[in-house]
């Protein structure tokens, strides 16, 4: 049985005892589909008090849905074990989080056409291509990222930083 994202998130947040959302309701996001870049997911777990942490808390509360892919899951699987001291997650909690993330996100595996479209955007980092391709193929409303190269594509693709997303959608 899945451990439950809310329980894992709350455990990580409570462990840090720094996170507080003063107003839990978010404006107009309940049906919004969002792609969260890996850096936002990792930062949200490791630094629960900032905008990425607020985003994860809102997602766990059902404020919006996440579209993701095996690429992001692979990055999380590689990075999060090294961050265990920061996230406060045990190996079992990490496995359960990844299982729950996989089970609750809208799963997209970008095909060759979408990867080619993402590649044609001129991204310098090849690891950004699958993130952008996930956005394109999923038809998500926007991408939330801290990556400057992805954010530079705002004229072509709707994207926001975690802080901008919180400012626009948090009460």
When pLDDT is cut at 50, 70 and 90, the band that residue 170 belongs to is low
How many residues are there in the chain? 171
As for how many domains the chain has, the answer is 1
Examine the pLDDT at 11 and tell me if it is beyond 90: no
pLDDT, tens only, 118-135: 999 999 999 999 999 999
Alpha-helical runs (H) found in 65-128: 70-79, 84-87, 91-104, 112-119
CA distance to 49, 52, 99, per residue, from 44 (Å): 8, 4, 17
For 100-115, what is each residue's pLDDT tens digit?
Answer: 999 999 999 999 999 9
Rounded to whole angstroms, the Cα distance separating 108 from 152 reads 23
Classify residue 163 by burial, with Cβ atoms within 10 Å: 0-12, 13-18, 19+.
middle
CB 89 within 8 A of CB 77: no
Check residue 168 and give its pLDDT: 87
Task: Provide the domain limits for residue 142.
Answer: 5-169
Residue appearing with tokens 């310098």: 124
Against a cut of 0.75, is the pTM above it? yes
What pLDDT shows up at residue 31?
Answer: 81
Is the Cα dihedral 53, 133, 126, 70 positive or negative?
positive
How crowded is residue 149: how many other Cβ atoms within 10 Å of its Cβ? 14
CATH number of 151's domain: 3.40.50.1010
- What gap in Å lies between CA 145 and CA 138, rounded to an integer? 16
% pLDDT > 70, the chain: 81
The whole-number pLDDT of residue 118 equals: 96
Give me the pLDDT at residue 10, please.
52
Instruction: In whole angstroms, give the CA distance from residue 166 to residue 50.
Output: 10
Q: Is the pLDDT of residue 2 over 50?
A: no
């Amino acid at each position: 049985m899945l451990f439950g994202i809310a329980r894992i998130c709350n455990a990580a947040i409570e462990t840090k005892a720094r996170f507080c959302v003063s107003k839990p309701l978010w404006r107009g996001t309940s049906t919004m589909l969002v792609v969260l870049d890996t850096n936002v997911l990792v930062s949200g777990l490791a630094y629960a008090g900032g905008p990425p942490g607020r985003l994860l808390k809102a997602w766990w509360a059902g404020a919006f849905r996440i579209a993701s892919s095996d690429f992001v899951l692979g990055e999380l699987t590689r990075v999060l074990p090294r961050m265990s001291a920061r996230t406060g997650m045990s190996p079992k909690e990490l496995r359960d989080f990844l299982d729950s993330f996989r089970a609750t996100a809208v799963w997209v595996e970008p095909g060759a056409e979408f990867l080619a479209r993402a590649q044609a955007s001129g991204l310098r980092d090849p690891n950004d291509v699958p993130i952008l391709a996930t956005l394109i193929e999923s038809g998500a409303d926007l991408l939330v990222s801290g990556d400057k190269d992805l954010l530079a594509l705002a004229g072509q693709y709707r994207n926001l930083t975690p802080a901008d997303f919180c400012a626009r959608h948090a009460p």
